[in-house]
Amino acid sequence: MHFADSLALVAIDLNLKADSPIEVLEALVRLASKSHPFAAPNQIVSVLIERENLSTTGIGGGIAVPHCKTEQADRLIMAFGRAPGGVEFKALDQKPVQLFFLLLAPIEAANTHLKALAKIARFAKDSAVIDSLLNLESPQAVHQFLAEQSKG
């Protein structure tokens, strides 16, 4: 599973403007909809909020991976947002989150969804990957970097 197949260049924002978890989720769904228009984006946001209420997707290391399954996704759809100032996202390590990976999977795509979550969780443990994602200067550079990191 390569991120390049799921993450469109237009779904990358390196200056995500959001002050709350809900604003982050809304912004990420808007980003994802640039490459995959959704019939009911607000419904996806609602499902993501419900998921956050169960347990935070802020995995630590400055990374959060909001995710859900939705009938509105016909394949794994990703968006990436970087919030330079960080957002309080109730992360497991209690630190602000700067790097957000949105994963939207079809209802029946558990395996693909889990593989993507596992790869991103590995990022949280690799300070070099985090530093790169915090410092790359263009969506193209982030897209290429993530494509390289997701090989294998």
113 is catalytic: no
CA proximity to 146, closest of 78, 58, 75: 78
Catalytic residue among 2, 36, 67, 113: 67
> What residues contact residue 116 under an 8 Å CB cut-off, 6+ apart?
1, 3, 6, 76, 78, 103, 105
Whether residue 36 contacts residue 28, with contact meaning beta carbons closer than 8 Å, is answered with no
**Furthest-apart CA atoms within the chain: distance in Å:** 38
Tokens 């596992």 belong to 118
Cβ burial of 35 (10 Å; 0-12, 13-18, 19+) is middle
Catalytic residues, which ones? 67
